[in-house]
Structure 1
Amino acid sequence: MVQLSRIVFRKYGNFIDNLRLYVRGGSGGMGLQRLGGKGGDGGDVWVVATKKMTLKMIKDKYPLKHFVAGVGANSSVRALKGEKGNSREILAPVGVSVTFDDGKIIGHLNAEGDRVMVAKGGRGGSMSSGFEPSRSQATQIRLDLKLIADFGLVGFPNAGKSSLLTAMSNATPEIASYAFTTLRPHIGKLIYKDHKHISVADLPGLIEGAYLNKGMGHKFLKHVERTKQLLFVVDVCGFQLATKTPFRSAFETIQLLTRELELYKEELVLKPALLVVNKMDLPGAEDKLMELKEQLQNPEDFSDMLSDDMLPKNFITFSQVVPVSASTGSGIDHLKSCVRESLDEDAEKAAEATHEERLQTLRHQAQ
């Protein structure tokens, strides 16, 4: 049994997951025509990743959201080659994607210290330009935070994801007996005795049509992109959002979740996934679990239960199906073990693939 030595939890207050900024490189300096001097280049604007910054901190510190680099020095008799203008660094949180306004990706900040240039400074004036400096780049960019976590909890509202995170990590997200309690991401961090860290993100609950940006829609789905693996969480007794919406069995719920993910971005369903069947303390839960396991073994045989708009292109194969009760704690220790085991297996496969690639390169070089 896996035991935890200590547990860390972080809650995002006043959560901001995207920010629009104006950036402009510094202007170049004038060249000195009579002596053939070259003006200094303008400074560049960079976005640099740090774990000490959030998007909200950027917004609060720089309310105008304008970032301009330094101007290059003019060429002079004392300095024929003007100095380059100072570059401007925008410190941004790890896990940010940097894009232009049209969505074109400039780069990703996946680790501390990663850097992306977003606006280049103008060239200093020289003989080739008639000693006139060139214009610097100016544009609008977006910083789009997609959470980085080892696991993302995926489930419809009221599936018990927040309760599960609490049971797994002693975290304290808001929990209530009504849907849509989680309106911002929470991250629970499990720290094992061998100092292994595993982060689990409890994300805002999906609703049907999330891929069309209904409900929390894309705010949820984009965070799923930045998790290594998925933890599907379903109520063993099924799910009904409201009295006027249809009831979905646990099997139907899983297929609906799968379809929402693949309609947004098909590669999301290729991530390794575990299934957590919650609320096993409810009456009749064991019989419903046996029925669900039978359906998952041969999902094609039960596809007639699903309407065309519920049927995913591909059924997800879960590495493990783990029954739990978040409210009583039953099955939680086993789930922690499964989570650790799944990540370790994934890491081993990645290491083997890297080793094989190196061998292939060495064989190719030897030929």
Structure 2
Amino acid sequence: MVQFSRICFRKYGNLVDNLRLYVRGGSGGMGLPRLGGQGGTGGDVWVVASKNVTLKRIMDKYPQKRFVAESGANSSVHSLKGARGTAKEIPSPVGITVTTDDGKILGDLNAEGDRLIVAKGGHGGSFHSAFEPRKGQAKHIRLDLKLIADMGLVGFPNAGKSSLLTVLSNATPQIASYAFTTLKPEIGKLMYKDYKQISVADLPGLIEGAHINKGMGHKFLKHVERTKQLLFVVDVCGFQLASKTAFRSAFEAVQLLTKELELYKEELVSKPALLVVSKMDLPDAEDKLAELKEQLQNPDEFSDLLPDDMIPKTHMTFRHVVPVSASTGFGIDHLKSCIRESLDEDEEMATRAVRQEKLQALRYH
């Protein structure tokens, strides 16, 4: 049997997922008119993906949240071409999207060492500018963290996601028998016998219409974008969000979750996914599970259970369907094994693809 140990988790209260910064490139240096000297160009401002950096650490270390590059040196009789100003580097976590205040995407930092220029330095004074230097670019930017976990728990409110995270790891999210208990992501980590660590995020519950920003809407969906894999969680007995809303079976919940992801960003439904069927300790759970499995095998035959505008274009294909009970512990060890197996499978495929690319490159050379 696979053995697991648990390590501590960090509550979302300590996790900053969006940071607004002021950046300004250095001004150019003065030119020297009588000798035709050119001032140095001002330094640029870069955002650089680095290890062991969080947005909260940036905020704590730089409370003013201002990053200004050095100005270029003035031209002089000793150095007609002034030296370039020193660039300013902003360390950032991996998995960041950099945007302007108006939402324009400047770029993504997806791997350690990735660099993105966010403010260029001004040109030094020269003959073409009457030897007057230019100011550097100045703007506000936002660092938006999206990659927060290997696995993201996807489900409607009160599906049992928080309880599941508690038994999977040391996380202690707020748990109650009413909807919207989780208002901010909680991250738990599993550590396996070989010291492999896997992070699992419990995200705020989706509601129908999340893709148009109802409920926690976009705050939830932006985090789903960059989780490596999805862990759908549905109540085996179905759910009803409120007395005035329709009751949804477990199968309908799967389809509605898929539809919300699809409407927000279609490529999300192509992510590797596992399905966790929770609350298996409830009466008639086995019969309902059997019904769900039959429906998942032939989803088109049961599409009439939902209105046309709620049926996804593409039905999710789950690598594993795992019934569990967080209250009794049933199925939890098997789920942990399935999570590890699924992630290892993707890592192996990625390694194989890199090897094939290298072999092809060698053949052509």
TM range (shorter): over 0.9
Counterparts of 1:201-240 in structure 2, within 5 Å, are 201-240=201-240
Q: Which residue of 2 aligns with 1:248?
A: 248
Q: How does 1:109-258 map to 2 (within 5 A)?
A: 109-258=109-258
Helix, strand or coil at the partner of 1:47: strand
Contact 1:122/1:136 (CA < 8 Å) preserved in 2? yes
Instruction: Report the TM-score when normalising by structure 2.
Output: 0.94
Shift of 1:315: 0.5
Secondary structure in structure 2 of the residue aligned to 1:166: helix
Whole-Å separation in 1 of the counterparts to 2:216 and 2:174: 17
Alignment of 1:246-325 (within 5 A): 246-325=246-325
Of 330-339 and 43-52, deviating more is: 43-52
Checking the alignment, whether the CA contact within 8 Å between 1:8 and 1:190 is kept in structure 2 is no
* Separation in structure 2 between the aligned mates of residue 226 and residue 252 of structure 1, nearest angstrom: 25
**Farther off after superposition, 344-353 or 111-120:** 111-120
Residues 286-345 of structure 1: CA deviation (Å, up to 9, x unaligned): 000000000001101111111112200011111110000011111000000000111111
Give the AA of the match of 2:336. Answer: K
Deviates more, 1:54-63 or 1:232-241: 54-63
Q: Deviations over 1:257-276 (max 9, x none)?
A: 00000000000000000000
1: distance between equivalents of 2:351 and 2:50? 27
Output the CA distance in 2 between the equivalents of 1:27 and 1:359. 48
Cα distance between partner residues in 1 of 2:87 and 2:31: 20
- Structure 2 SS opposite 1:165: helix
Mapped to 1, the partners of 2:20 and 2:336 lie a distance apart of 39
Equivalent residues of 2:167, 2:329 under 8 A apart: yes
The whole-number CA distance in structure 1 between the counterparts of 2:94 and 2:66 is 21
Q: Is the 8 A contact 2:42 2:136 kept in 1?
A: yes
Partners of 1:216 and 1:2 in 2: how far apart? Answer: 36
Deviations 1:7-32 (A, max 9, x none): 23121216543233332211100111
8 Å CA contact 1:8–1:191 kept in 2: the answer is no
Deviation at 1:353, TM superposition (A): 2.3
Query: 1:269 aligns to what SS in structure 2?
Result: helix
Quote the offset at 1:38 in angstroms: 2.0
User: What amino acid does structure 1 have at the position aligned with 2:183?
Assistant: L
One-letter amino acid of the structure 1 residue matched with residue 323 of structure 2: P
Distance of 1:215 and 1:15 partners within structure 2: 21
SS of residue paired to 1:5: strand
* More displaced 10-residue stretch of structure 1: 132-141 or 60-69: 60-69
- Partner amino acid, structure 2, of 1:10: R
Aligned to 2:195, what secondary structure does the other structure show?
coil
Return the letter of the residue paired with 2:100: F
Q: Deviations over 1:91-122 (max 9, x none)?
A: 33332210123433222233444332100101
Cα distance in 1 for partners of 2:274, 2:260 equals 17
1:78-103: CA deviation from partner (whole Å, max 9, x where unpaired): 33232322322333333221012343
Shift of 1:52: 4.7
Rounded to whole Å, the distance in 1 between the matches of 2:338 and 2:61 is: 42
The answer (yes or no) to whether the contact 1:15–1:184 under 8 Å persists in 2 is no
Q: Which runs of 5+ in 1 are unaligned?
A: none
CA shift for structure 1 position 230? 0.4
Shift of 1:69: 1.8
RMSD (Å) for aligned C-alpha atoms: 1.9
Greater Cα shift, 222-231 or 117-126: 117-126
Alpha-carbon distance in 2 for matches of 1:354, 1:35: 55
Q: Equivalent residue for 1:357?
A: 357
CA-CA distance at 1:77 after TM superposition: 2.1
Larger mean Cα displacement after TM superposition, 242-251 or 47-56:
47-56
User: Which whole-Å deviations, capped at 9, do the CAs of 1:221-262 have from their partners, x for residues lacking one?
Assistant: 000011111000000000111111110000000000000000
Contact 2:6 2:189 in 1 (8 A): no
Identity %: 77
Matched position secondary structure for 1:9: coil
Deviates more, 1:266-275 or 1:26-35: 26-35
Q: Distance in 1 between matches of 2:227 and 2:65?
A: 29
Q: What is the alpha-carbon distance in structure 1 between the residues aligned to residue 317 and residue 110 of structure 2? A: 28
1:44 to 1:222, Cα distance in 2 relative to 1, 3 A: same
